[in-house]
Amino acid sequence: MNSALLVVVFIVAITLVAAALFLAGIMSPRSFNPQKGEPYECGIPTHGESWMQFKVGYYLFAILFLMFDVEAVFLFPWAVIVRDLGVAGLMNVLFFLLILILGLAYAWKKGALEWK
């Protein structure tokens, strides 16, 4: 029974995606202009090398954001069942938050949060 349901779900999903692509192809406006195929650079033609190196601070800031964002997502399931976990669950999440705070303090001390 479950495998038959899975096959039906896949068939319905593929059909809906195909129908959406078909309708988008029919209903979308068509305007053929040669400028649409050119790369867009804010309206200004580039001179020289287009590739430029970014500061490592941008990447470091993005990685720190993702790290703390993903770790914050782990708090939501805990918040749903916090009453069932009792004191042990509270101690576990406090330890988790302590590790987060220590990581933030370390990044702050190393200057990773300074925008230069």
pLDDT for the residue numbered 95? 93
Q: What is the pTM of this model?
A: 0.48
Work out whether the CA dihedral 29, 34, 40, 43 comes out positive or negative. Answer: negative
pLDDT of residue 39: 66
Q: How does pLDDT run across 15-70, given as a tens digit for each residue? A: 999 999 999 999 988 777 777 666 665 666 666 676 777 777 778 778 888 888 88
Planar angle of CA 8, 9, 10, nearest 5 degrees? 90
Cβ atoms of 100 and 68 within 8 Å: the answer is yes
Tokens of 55: 């500061």
Q: Cβ distance 74 to 100 under 8 Å?
A: no
Q: Taken in order 21, 24, 29, 35, is the CA torsion positive or negative?
A: negative
